[in-house]
């Protein structure tokens, strides 16, 4: 049975805007995933990790899929690998990060996958673009927009890319 899932995309290495756009296209091209909505691309300061990283581009995508949670997770990891993601430093710079934020109403706490994403409710870089994409979105019974307003990293939100601008 199809499930609505929210994914968070992030990149701060390489051609980040192009990476996010191509990732959304690849998600939509998958025969068992349909992209329903895509947020604006937020420009945000890095949260955690080593000092001196470039700003991140972050985007939220709502999909409908009949993939099971771990199969969706594996596909997200395949997308990261396709864009040469290297996992050396936790919260370090990366070409692509794809996180499953929600998977329907599923609550799960497994070593490989925790749903909803354990830090999503605290991250303006996820919450703010998500709220713009879906003003009625809820997470843990609270409006995503309300969570975004009180997120500890909200001051790191630098703005949004102009979708009509070319790089």
Encoded tokens for 34: 């349909």
Q: What is the 3-state secondary structure (H, E, C) of 102-138?
A: EECCCCEECCCCEECCCCHHHCHHHHHHHHHHCCCCE
Q: 116: cis peptide before it, omega within 30°?
A: yes
For residue 85, indicate whether it is catalytic.
yes
For residue 134, indicate whether it is catalytic.
no
| Residue tagged active-site, from 97, 123, 150, 154 | 97
For residue 97, indicate whether it is catalytic.
yes
DSSP structure class, residue 2? -
| Residue tagged active-site, from 62, 99, 123, 153 | 99
| Residue tagged active-site, from 85, 119, 158, 162 | 85
Under 8 Å between Cβ of 42 and 58: yes
For residue 74, indicate whether it is catalytic.
no
Start-to-end Cα distance in the chain: 40
Which residues are annotated as catalytic? 85, 94, 97, 99
């Amino acid at each position: 049975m199809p499930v609505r899932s929210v994914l968070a995309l992030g990149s701060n290495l390489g051609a980040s805007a192009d990476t996010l756009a191509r990732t959304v296209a690849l998600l939509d091209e998958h025969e068992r995933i349909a992209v329903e909505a895509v947020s604006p691309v937020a420009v945000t300061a890095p949260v955690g990790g080593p000092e001196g990283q470039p700003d991140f581009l972050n985007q939220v995508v709502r999909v409908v899929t009949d993939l099971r949670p771990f199969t969706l997770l594996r596909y997200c990891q395949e997308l990261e690998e396709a864009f040469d993601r290297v996992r050396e430093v936790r919260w370090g710079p990366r070409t692509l990060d794809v996180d499953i934020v929600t998977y329907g109403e599923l609550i799960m706490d497994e070593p490989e996958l925790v749903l909803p994403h354990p830090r999503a409710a605290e991250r303006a870089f996820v919450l703010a673009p998500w709220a713009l994409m879906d003003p009625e979105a809820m997470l843990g019974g609270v409006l995503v927009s309300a969570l975004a307003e009180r997120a500890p990293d909200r001051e790191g939100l630098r703005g949004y890319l102009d979708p009509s601008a070319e790089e």
